Amino acid sequence: MKRIWQHPQEPKTGRRYWRSVGELERRSEFMNKLGVEFPAGDTMNEEERDNSRRDFLKIMGASLGAMGLVSCRRPLTTILPYTKHVEWVIPGKPLLYATAIPKPNGGAQPLVVTTHEGRPTHLAGNPLHPTAGGGLDSFAQASILDLYDPERSQRPLRHGKNGVGWSSVNRAIRAATESVSAKGGEGLAVVVGASSSPTFTRLLGELKKAYPQAMVVEYDAISRDALKAANAELFGADVLPVVNLSKALRVFSLDCDFLGVNPVGADSVKEFMVNRDADKGVDSMNRLYALENRFTVTGGFADHRKPLAASLIPVAAALLAAELGGTQVSALAATASEDLKTWVKVAADDLKKFQGKAVVLTGSGYGAEVHALVATANQALGAFGTVIDLVKPDTVTPAGMLPDLVAAVRGGKVSTVVALTPSDLFYDAPGASALKDLFKDKKVSLIHWGHSPNATARHSDYHIPAAHPLEAWGDLRTADGTYSIVQPMIQALYGGASAIEVLLALLGKKKLGLEEVKPADPAAPPAPAPVDAAYAAVRETFEKIAGGLDEQKWNLTLRDGFLKGSTFAKGGSLNAGAVNGIASKATVLSAPTAEALEVVLVPDSTLWDGRFASNAWLQEAPDPITKLTWDNAAWLSSKTFQGLGLKEGQMVKITVGEKSISLAAIEAPGHVSNSITIALGYGQTKLGFVGSNSDGKGRGFDAYKLRSDANQYVLTGAKVEKLDEIYELAITQEQNTMEGRAIYREATAEEFKKTPDFAQKTGMDGHIPQNISLYKGQVDRKTPENPEGFDYENLHQWGMTIDLNKCIGCTSCIVACQSENNISVVGKDQVRKGRIMQWIRMDRYFAVPKWGKDEAESDDVMIKPTAEQLENAEMVSQPVACQQCESAPCETVCPVNATVHTEEGLNAMAYNRCIGTRYCANNCPYTARRFNFFDYNKRPLDELYMGPLSTPSKTGMRESLQLQKNPNVTVRMRGVIEKCTYCVQRLESAKINQRQKQRDSKNFRVPTDSVKVACQQACPAGAIEFGDLGDEKSAVNKVKASPRNYQVLKYVGTRPRTSYLARIRNVNPDMPNAAAIAAWSGKQF
Amino acid sequence: MGNFFPRWTNWLVLKLAIALFFILVGVSLGVSYYFTPKYTRVGYEPTQPVPFSHKIHAGQLGLDCRYCHSFVESSSHSNVPTNQTCFNCHGTGKGNIRSNSPKLEKVIQAEATGTPIPWVKVHKVPDYAYFNHSVHVNRGVSCVSCHGKINEMEVVRQAEPQSMGWCLDCHRNPENNLRPLDQITNLNYDASQLDRATFYKGLLDKGVKAEEIAAEIPGGGLLEKAPDLQQILALAEKTYGGAVAQQEVGLQLKKHWQVSPPESCAACHR
């Protein structure tokens, strides 16, 4: 008799987690997809099918004939040893290097790079680094793909066309400098981006000295000019505030996404998590208040969050400053609504109790008055000198701003512009196309340096391809000043130059491009290696910073990846007089209305300002909030969205003043009404398939067109108009759903104190009936009573924990997994079909505390939530990968034993055995398995359905991408299921390394916590622990002992090795609506 | 009704069945021998670009395997040596041994141009199987177990099938191939060459308890009190005879080095 398992019913009352409004309201689009992991239906249209069937037969016929011929002989393979041995390289062993990579907004990400026989394959954070040690963000994680990107800029361009060599670039640079040298550099302008490289700054200073009349302009698309100007006035020139959140117990964020795209210190995520450990006692846990117009990862992680229009952030800042006893700006504060006043007051009262341990933060895009008000608030809280350090960096160059350059060009004062900024002037600058025409009109000779053949590169006189940070010498400083050397670990693949090298070329100290190698004369003695000018320049800087060129110190710095004790000097204080001056300039603001909406422009969580548009991993990494891949869209609140009668992806026209753009709209719970958020960086053209689709028209929509000033992030008085067209968006939020199961658990700090083990009793977990089956299979610890169990004495037993109280949902783990495990990118169309391959899926749920109209007793699950409830929704994130069930449902259904259990508790995959029945995926209650519908590695993603008839030049894995692959992991082919295996290649190599040491002893266990899996290594928050359960000292064992530890879907009896730690929200009971926050879902039933 | 079928057809079905039986048996026997690595792979002996003789170097001269394959103990790959290794002996101004022999022509050429010598791969493990040399040679498995007596081969030839079943045979019964660590690269090793007293003394010196050693000798059983070396030797001689046996060495090493070769898929397939 077939028994149908009934999942425990959802509670009718209380809290519910849902991924989209469609799910909450049971809209038909969602219900049709529910439970269909691999949507059926035609994969190709009529015409494609007809053609391909005929072609298929033709090719089969031909290949059958050919098969007979080739199968007789064993193919001859050769082994090519090095002719001369390479220092340190042991074939087959990875070699690690410490280096650093610039963060998109300045600062540095220290790295440890894994190289295999000279090819870098994987990046990880540098765990030894004093301030930014540990994990890394997804930008840095994915930057390894930029190195091998087949669409990156590979050769110099002249007017956007190939055909010039490096020698003509060198000539052009010489000509440019020679023409201006007579007039002291007048007519030369250098545009730089924010850089934390001391050598770059030093060389720029030298350039200024050599050409005193030359103009230096700093331009970044995500401009911080307003912040810099405010800082200069508040703290003095050359003084920067650096926030160390590890010293704060109360944090108030005024739309500052410090856990996401707006870090405020050397490593804000890591520092914030220092005081976030609920197991150390909830009283010492920090508390986060957030005001923001849209959900950010920071807002989702906040203990208290209130949606507030971005135009009203200055009002909130004024309120807060007034409450904390700082400046009074009554004109602003008076306009606040009553509930905002109460909200801010109660929060401020809480902050006041933590003198010297509380801090107020604000987004870097806001105007000077907000920064001034926040500075007084921080002054009142005693944050300066405790939480906030004022430092004097040496990497600041006095530079003009973009409008200065535009004015100079217009006035005909500039004849040559050298663009060294990573931003794309002719795409992201305000009035980009007008600027392009202006340069053309005034016959400005533009020499552009950049990583991709972007708009500026195509319209420049000379384009110089940039070297990847892994290809050239350089140096960087983290926000607190710790100095790192950037060392090359591969020769520049296409001979690109770094920004430092271009500066050296301008100074006449270096010729760009690959040196021509003459065939060596065997008789001649080996020529001494030419000294790289960039190397010499970095050493010169090092000498200054380290106080002498000590060879040993240099080598140690290279080895460790940082120079000890090289932080910036502290100094400076808040100039209270300046505050009132700035604050008094604040203008009175009004809340956006349905007629005059606000548009908030934000850096994208995956493409930043657009510079990562060619990075396929980042394009496919779902946005942490919307789960949107490959595109951007206008985020609208439910009220605005439903008020306009929109459907998901429906186009809207947004007009701000005279500028307007049309783009797709999506409904974003937690978004404030009458406000629209648009991520920048999309809509770039002609970047190749990944960056701008095969038609070259671009992915997503360009929101830079709305700006008239690079410092404009909040645009007011916008109008929105509904259009008929529906744009196809690839959103993963409703895919692989585990809908309706209580898999996320959280409670307030108070609830946790009362019932520490609430997570273990939620749902029916408290009273699961015992398994009385005679056949128990291989589960649990091996004992005389349970002889089939796992051997904890003589083997490793692997396990993992994920702390939801630390996970912010940033997607760094997803990209790390992709890099480590050779996971393919599938493209937008396939993502739409639910075929995304990422092994880790970052589930993002929204929750409303009381979601029905009549929350008491109603059987109707289709109750429509109110717009206000949707606006105040809470957000949680939960990464889910294979849970490595001890009693795995997938294994029993595999007809070919391709997925089996190892004696160490892993649910292993033998890819070469898999025949692709997908039974396992159907049987997985966690929907953690992925299927290769196509040869994603071999076939061009825009011609998947062409099969073997795809364009030959695009078919097969690109050579450069082959270099990135991890040689210790199989590259899976079509028709194979794949999934997380706890980085089994790392476990095996750790065990083997231990056995090399063990030799003839019994000491088999790998040293405690010495093996780290890729996601754990990447997690900036340290939310993931992994290790040997058989080792009593291991961190994972300690964490599993926490009362917050629970297994997802425990009642199914799968006995997963991965467990989660429930989230604790540190709720302030005095806050309005505090009772509703994280209303414990832990109802037992 | 006439007889449509002549008389001889009565037996036809039976004859056909018998013939079919023999054909089927023949085909299956043929397939199971000729279509397996035992036949298709063993004996593969491609011509190498350089007439390098393992017989002379490893056999006559007695060079240790690790002189050239230097990373075999630390890496998954057993590296093919660089030209520099060859020139340590053959190079002008270095060893000067036959430095102008025409057989070295390609090596000299590779040195001059930097283009490596394309050695032909003999032992090929499929891409989806991740074999690791270091873990084997560090834990008592000799080169000879997988590669045969290289020291007797003029040109390297595949000696073992190296199929999955063959791997598993040893992973299930490692005692048939384990040997003391100082004998790993001794390709002429035989357990009988070992001195029994030295072998057991070595184990005792490593801190293995005497009663545990005795427990691994069949017939030894659990002893009431710890035996001394002489008792162990007597026990071993009683069980295995005068000469040291491979089983004897293998079982002791498997137990006391805790050799537990993995048999799960994930050990080799990822």
- Contact indicator for A812, A603 with CB cutoff of 8 Å: no
Taking CB atoms and an 8 Å limit, are A996 and B132 in contact across chains? no
Q: Is beta strand A675-679 parallel, antiparallel or unpaired with respect to A597-602?
A: parallel
Residue A358 within a domain: yes
Residue A811 lies in a domain: yes
Tally Cβ neighbours within 10 Å of residue A93: 17
Residue of A nearest to B259 (CA): A1002
* Whole-angstrom distance, CA of residue B257 vs CA of residue B135: 13
Check B260 against A84: CB less than 8 A apart.
no
Whether residue A756 is found in the same domain as residue A836: yes
pLDDT score for A435? 93
A520 and B114 in contact by Cβ < 8 A? Answer: yes
**Cβ–Cβ below 8 Å for A902 and B266:** yes
Domain that holds residue A870: 16-37+743-887+984-1065
Q: Out of A731, A757, A791, pick the residue that ends a domain.
A: A731
List CB contacts (< 8 A) between B265 and chain A.
900, 902, 908-910, 913
The mean pLDDT value of chain B amounts to: 90
In a domain, A971, yes or no: no
CB–CB of A996 and B73 under 8 A?
A: yes
Residue that is last in its domain, among A392, A415, A437 = A392
Q: What is the model's pLDDT at position B99? A: 83
Where do runs of H (alpha helix) occur along chain B? 12-34, 37-40, 54, 65-68, 83-90, 105-113, 133-137, 143-147, 164-172, 196-205, 210-215, 229-240, 246-256
| pLDDT tens-digit map of A1005-1027 | 999 999 999 999 999 999 999 99
Write the DSSP symbol of residue A1080.
-
Strand-pair category, A287-292 with A250-254: parallel
Distance (Å, whole) CA A478 – CA A30: 45
What is the radius of gyration, based on Cα positions, of chain A? 29
- Give dist(CA A446, CA A458) in Å, integer: 11
A726 and A748 co-located in one domain: no
Inter-chain residue contact B71 with A92, CB threshold 8 Å: yes
Residue A119 lies in a domain: no
Cβ pair B111:A522 closer than 8 A: yes
| pLDDT tens, position by position, B132-179 | 999 999 999 999 999 999 999 999 999 999 999 999 999 999 999 999
For residue B126, the chain A residues in CB contact (below 8 A) are 912
Sheet strands (E) in A929-972: 930-931
Q: CB distance A91–B77 less than 8 Å?
A: yes
CA distance B22 to chain A (A): 27
Q: CATH number for the domain including A301?
A: 3.40.228.10
Residue A580 CA, distance from chain mean position: 38
Tell whether A257 and A316 lie within a shared domain.
yes
A992 closest CB neighbour out of B132, B181, B253: B132
Are A76 and B46 in contact (CB < 8 Å)? yes
- Residue type (1 letter), B153: M
Q: What is the 3-state secondary structure (H, E, C) of A195-242?
A: CCCHHHHHHHHHHHHHCCCCEEEECCCCCCHHHHHHHHHHHCCCCEEE
As a whole number of angstroms, the distance between CA B70 and CA B83 comes to: 13
Model ipTM value: 0.91
**CA–CA distance, A86 with A65 (Å, rounded to integer):** 45
In a domain, A1034, yes or no: yes
* CATH code of the domain containing A1036: 3.30.70.20
Please indicate, yes or no, whether residues A695 and A764 belong to a single structural domain of this protein.
Answer: no
Kindly state whether residue A258 falls inside one of the protein's structural domains.
yes
Cβ pairs A/B, distance under 8 A: 151
Contact A1000 B257 (CB under 8 A): yes
Residue A416 lies in a domain: no
pLDDT per residue over A369-392, tens digit each? 899 999 999 999 999 999 999 999
Task: For chain A, list residues with pLDDT below 70.
Answer: 1-16, 33-73, 326-327, 514-529, 736-742, 774-776, 849-863, 1079-1085
Q: Has residue A487 been placed in a domain? A: no
| Residue B261: Cβ within 10 Å count | 17
Q: Based on the number of CB atoms within 10 Å of its own CB, is B80 exposed (0-12), middle (13-18) or buried (19 or more)?
A: middle
Residues of A in contact with B116 (CB under 8 A): 80-83
- The string of DSSP letters for A482-516 reads -EEEE--SS--TT--B-HHHHHHHHTTS---SPPP
Instruction: Give the whole-angstrom CA distance, residue A912 versus residue A893.
Output: 17
- Residue A885 gets which letter from DSSP? B
Are A289 and A380 part of one and the same domain? Answer: yes
Contacts of A81 in chain B (CB under 8 A): 79-82, 116-117, 119
Cβ neighbours for A565, distance < 8 A, ≥ 6 positions apart: none
Alpha carbons B151 and B53: distance in angstroms, whole number: 9
Which member of A904, A981, A996 has the closest CB to residue B270?
A: A981
In Å, how far is A991's CA from the nearest CA of chain B? 9
- Do A252 and A354 sit in the same domain of this protein? yes
Contact across the interface for A81 and B81, Cβ inside 8 Å: yes
Same-domain check for residues A638 and A754: no
Residue A723 and residue A860 share a domain: no
CB contact under 8 A, A90 and B74: yes
Q: For Cα atoms A926, A930, A936, give the angle at the middle one, nearest 5 degrees.
A: 165
**CA atoms of A253 and A1066, how far apart (whole Å):** 15
Question: Would you state the pLDDT for residue A1?
Answer: 43
Same domain flag for A881 and A1008 = yes
The C-alpha atoms of residue A939 and residue A390 are separated, in whole angstroms, by 53
Which candidate from A74, A903, A985 shows the least CB-CB separation from B264? A903
- The pair of structure tokens assigned to A610 is 């657009």
The DSSP symbol for A790 reads B
A981 interaction partners in chain B (CB closer than 8 Å): 266, 270
CATH of the domain at A688: 2.40.40.20
Distance CA B131, CA B141 (A): 13
A90, A991, A998 ranked by CB distance to B75: nearest: A90
Inter-CA distances, B46 with A29, B52, B118, B187, Å: 62, 12, 12, 22
Residues A619 and A718 both lie in one domain: yes
SS3 letters across A397-433: CCCECHHHHHHHHHCCCCCEEEECCCCCHHHHCCCHH
Cross-chain Cβ contact B121/A79 below 8 Å: yes
Residues 6+ apart with CB under 8 A from A1022: A134, A135, A270, A273, A803, A806
Helices and strands (DSSP H and E) totals, chain A: 35, 40
| Residue A954 to residue A593: CA distance in whole angstroms | 50
Nearest CA to CA, how far is B115 from chain A (Å)? 7
- Return the pLDDT at B173: 94
Last residue of some domain: A731, A752, A779? A731
- Residue of A1064, A1013, A951, A750 whose CA lies nearest to A124: A1013
Question: Can you tell me which residue has the tokens 């005929």?
Answer: A54
Q: What SS3 class is residue A158?
A: strand
pTM: 0.92
Q: How far is A1012 from chain B (nearest CA, A)?
A: 17
Q: Are residues A706 and A787 in the same domain?
A: no
Residues A757 and A667 in one domain: no
| Selection from A866, A973, A881, A867 nearest residue A924 by Cα | A881
Predicted pLDDT of residue A853: 42
Domain count, chain A: 3
